[in-house]
Structure 1
């Protein structure tokens, strides 16, 4: 049974979408990558998010990916489908399709570019939650969308029975704690550098980009904290910092760095789709070095 305080699991990976060398959807590769992530520590996968290149995959590809990953992992992990767009009607359509394809829930980002006011943001999320038929995780990432889900808006949205969780990339730790204190929303750290900090104040877990390459380490950060080994947990979080910074805080999008490193490790990934461009050899070499240092404990 699903833990209501962790409706989508605890250690979630924002999974990349593998493509073939010709740029087509690689469903076999997606299944193999998903199986590895679950086997090595993830109990939830986020598909068709920004890291999964949702802006450049078609609606049909999105549903095909969900179905293929469901076949690969069965009931070993919860599947959360990114369905957020700048169009409420389209978002509802994607949510309904995700449910039919096998998703356990939907991740809905704030409508981007048009910068709707807070009453419109709230109405958007309520309409999607009313129609989706699946539990909803809100995605607060104003650095990408241009619009914040303000804490007071989040608190009001928490009264909707279908809105159960938040992926937090707000970089507003005070605001996050206010919502945690006043609602039952399950918070998931969406920034890898915040995994332990947010977990320590009551988050349900994380949606990690770095977990694409080190799922076991991300799980261990949370496991050791939960076991009371807080010094070990802190040390693991700090050890991950160089790789986290190189993969998520550099000039390149996380999709580019993750795929560059996965390809170097001969794991399913493939190219990125334009307008993104592949990481260069120097970047990939540095990522490979940081990855090996992390695994060796140096």
Structure 2
């Protein structure tokens, strides 16, 4: 299933008291839509889902659907390490009117491949919504094998996509080779956006797109029209920004960066902590130097491209 090229794993805005900030959520969604997001994931890892209650998640699902108003798809993060709880969250998301759900591999209890297969099948069978799997071994301690992904894509009609944050291009290649043509793979690592496209990925589920969504779209568009040299040049300029967004545990850096561009998102909830003054200065310096250069580069190369086609 195609959700576009750049899907933003959206932060959850909090107010000064640590509560979900509904007004800031509306403004953030408008910012993301205006700046290159083809779809958004609400209540994923970047949205600090482990710190959100079921009630907060249900309200987030409902409000995000309301504020997007059909402009882009909404994918709800409903994965957890309890199959029963994942079913409950998925049904809440479906009732809220989301367009799809994303299910992470179960964390901490470390199931085997058969356990993960049955977990995903059970949740997917409970809903009519399209399902995006999420393989993120660095956070969950388990790796969803390519064969298991292929079996799920073949056996369960509404499992349509996967976000792969394994960081392993060989594994992504195997997943793409083994799954049906209408099954899509999205990279879960910003800095692998361009390399993953080269092996057949559909796009990226991104954190950095909060800040450089438009620029990431330009890079992907260049690659898809056959201008690999331009795409590679943009990739090299974007990587330092992407690295800055993960210079401390996420989503603290991207929330700081949003504040720097006047988009309200608040701070993070414990056990996450805000950036130190030194970490914040690093993020600021990268944004200050790179964003201006990248945007000038895009304008310059667009002019060159228009001259060629005319």
Instruction: Give the TM-score range, shorter chain.
Output: over 0.9
* Mapping of residues 52-67 of structure 1, within 5 Å: 52-67=47-62
Quick check: 1:72 aligned with 2:70? no
Name 2:109's counterpart in structure 1: 114
Q: 1:178: how far off?
A: 1.3
Quick check: 1:192 aligned with 2:187? no
Q: Distance in 1 between matches of 2:101 and 2:249?
A: 22
Name 2:224's counterpart in structure 1: 226
| SS in structure 1 of the partner of residue 144 of structure 2 | coil
After superposition, give the CA deviation of every residue in 1:116-167 in whole Å (9 maximum; x if it has no partner).
1110110000001100221110000111100000111111111111110000
Name 1:142's counterpart in structure 2: 137
Q: 1:103: how far off?
A: 1.0
* Mapping of residues 30-41 of structure 1, within 5 Å: 30-41=25-36
| SS in structure 2 of the partner of residue 213 of structure 1 | helix
**Bigger radius of gyration among the two:** 2
Pick aligned residue for 1:274 from 267, 270, 273: 270
| SS in structure 1 of the partner of residue 79 of structure 2 | coil
Q: 1:297: how far off?
A: 1.2
After superposition, give the CA deviation of every residue in 1:233-271 in whole Å (9 maximum; x if it has no partner).
1111110111211222x3x22211111111232212101
Quick check: 1:254 aligned with 2:235? no
Alignment gaps of 5+ in structure 1? none
| SS in structure 2 of the partner of residue 290 of structure 1 | helix
Root-mean-square deviation (CA, aligned residues, Å) is 1.2
Q: Distance in 2 between matches of 1:102 and 1:293?
A: 41
Question: What TM-score comes out, normalization by structure 2 length?
Answer: 0.91
Name 1:91's counterpart in structure 2: 86
Q: Distance in 1 between matches of 2:61 and 2:217?
A: 23
Worse overlay, 26-35 or 67-76: 67-76
| SS in structure 2 of the partner of residue 137 of structure 1 | strand
* Mapping of residues 44-59 of structure 1, within 5 Å: 44-59=39-54
Q: Distance in 2 between matches of 1:241 and 1:145?
A: 25
Q: 1:9: how far off?
A: 2.1
- Contact 2:188 2:206 survives alignment (8 Å): yes
Q: Distance in 2 between matches of 1:66 and 1:34?
A: 13
Pick aligned residue for 1:164 from 153, 160, 167: 160
Q: 1:72: how far off?
A: 1.9
